[in-house]
Structure 1
Amino acid sequence: MTLPQTSERDEAGFTLVEVLVALALFSLLAVVLFDGVKFGLQAWRGGSARTEAFQRELAARDVLRRLIGNLYPMMLGEGAAQRRIDLDGQAESLEFLSDAPAVSGGAGRFRFKLLAERQRDRVDLVLQSRAELAVDQAPERTLLVSNIDRVEFGYAPRGTASGEAEFSTSWQQQIEPPGVIRLRVVMRPGDGRSWPELVIAPRLQADVACVYDALTMRCRGR
């Protein structure tokens, strides 16, 4: 009886060439899968960063609307000819008194300063703040918008509609606060971000805490 013979091919299994081809295909598949995962992670991180930046800018605009809308027009000066509102409005900065932020407990007033801060080749919109009575305290700095082209402040008198107002670039040594304050944040060319123009009308137009003393010609207690 003769046993069936098996070929050398059946006994040898995979050849070296077949193994190398399989490894090459596996490596190529791994590279393709890794590039896809890497692209997905980069897209997710980029989308998360843009969403976070948008949320920060949205929160910054809400804070500015509240602070400027609640600015307090404290009256300064001793004589009638020297009386002025404690507010310094310039083309690229605005300094004023307003309600204390919520993180401080909401008690008292704070002095705020919005300004375009220049550092080498970039401009940032920064908010400085300190308690009204903390004269010797260094102001706290908060970055609102970074890497912009410029900041433009405008001021219009009371009784002017915001859509028809002729804004000036300065509001200093005035006896009353501006009726409307405009803030423009201009992005750099090619920057995909957008910052809508803020036009805010301060609610208080008079120093309600001032009790005028005719003898001293100033607010009592000041």
Structure 2
Amino acid sequence: MKGFSTQGPDMKRLRRALADEAGFTLLEVLLATLLMTVILAALATVTAQWLPNWNRGIARVQRAERLATGLDRIIADLSVAEQMTVNGDAKAPLFEGAELSVTFLRTALGPSARPGLEFIRLIEKADAQGLALVRERAPFQPMPTDGQIRFVDQVVLIRAPFRVSFAYAGQDGQWQPTWRGQPQLPARIRITVRDGASGQVLAVSGAVIPHITAPAECARAKNPVTCVAAGSRPQQPTKEEQQL
């Protein structure tokens, strides 16, 4: 029996076949690597173009949600404003409305709030991040008509790029930028939301109707309608005042 020769034709053919197979495997690896590189480059390009738009979309959604939450809080507060004076001698209920702020009384809100009323102020302020509409509160206690209220618990409701302004209307439906010293609360309070950059009025703007717009004594009057109407008219001077 002849031995197997490592130098014979059979061995050469075997080596050639193995070399061909090794070369084909290396070519596959190179092609796969090239294909993976192309795919990764394409993904990187698409991601670079798509991710910023995605982030901007997320930011817009978050701003819209914060705006909606802030408006809900404003509407909830203004709709339950109380027709109350700060002391027994005051002639008008506490409601000081301006274009960029409004101060009023409402029932205390929150699990830690004590029963009773509290002062609420919605006012635009500036901080390190720009302009913002904030909500402040203070426990109610009788005080002089010209006394200062020390507000605490400042909470940001709406922040730039949005800005909020207020307007007020009585029973006559005429809008005005301020409401102070009136015998009763405004019949409607308009909340205007604008884009701070363009000044465009946004569709979320609207109006609030306070639940209580009549003095408390009118609830006990024989004719509440006449009582409310009398309270909404300017007081006529007495005969002694006319003679003076």
Normalised by the length of structure 1, the TM-score is 0.71
Mapping for residues 73-222 of structure 1, pairs under 5 Å = 73-76=83-86, 83-104=91-112, 107-119=115-127, 122-133=130-141, 138-148=151-161, 150-157=163-170, 159-160=171-172, 165-189=173-197, 194=202, 196-208=204-216
What secondary structure does 1:98 align onto?
Answer: strand
Structure 1 residue 67 displacement after superposition? 1.0
> Which stretches in structure 2 are left out of the alignment for 5+ residues?
1-7, 143-147, 219-244
- The 1-side partners of 2:149 and 2:91 are apart by 25
User: Relative contact order, CA 8 A, sep 6+: which one is greater?
Assistant: 1
In structure 1, the partner of 2:60 is: 50
Show the counterpart of 1:28: 38
CA distance in 2, matches of 1:40, 1:193: 30
Q: Could you tell me whether the CA contact under 8 Å between 1:87 and 1:177 is conserved in 2?
A: yes
Distance in structure 2 (CA, Å) of the matches to 1:43 and 1:103: 41
Q: Which has the higher helix share?
A: 2
Kindly indicate which of the two structures has a greater share of residues assigned to strand: 1
Letter paired with 2:176: S
Offset of 1:191 from its aligned partner? 9.0
- Letter of the 1:145 partner, please give it: I
Matched residue type, 2:72? D
Offset of 1:77 from its aligned partner? Answer: 5.9
Name the count of aligned residue pairs: 203
Partners of 1:103 and 1:93 in 2: CA distance: 26
Shift of 1:189: 3.4
What is the distance in 2 between the residues matched to 1:36 and 1:106? 56
Structure 1 gaps of 5+ residues are: 211-222
Displacement after TM superposition at 1:109 (Å): 1.8
CA distance in 2, matches of 1:133, 1:171: 22
Greater mean deviation of Cα atoms: 96-105 or 14-23: 14-23
TM-score, normalised via structure 2 length: 0.65
1:18 deviates by 7.0
Separation in 1, partners of 2:159, 2:78? 20
Q: Identity percentage over the alignment?
A: 23
How many Å apart are 1:68 and its aligned residue?
0.5
Opposite residue 177 of structure 1, the aligned amino acid is: L
Q: Return the letter of the residue paired with 1:155.
A: Y
* Post-superposition CA distance 1:52-101 (Å, at most 9, x none): 3333322222222221111012124665xx61221111121101111222
Aligned residue identity for 1:203: H
Q: Which residue of 2 aligns with 1:70?
A: 80
- Asked if the contact 1:67–1:99 (Cα under 8 Å) also holds between the matched residues in 2, the reply is no
Q: Which amino acid aligns with 2:99?
A: A
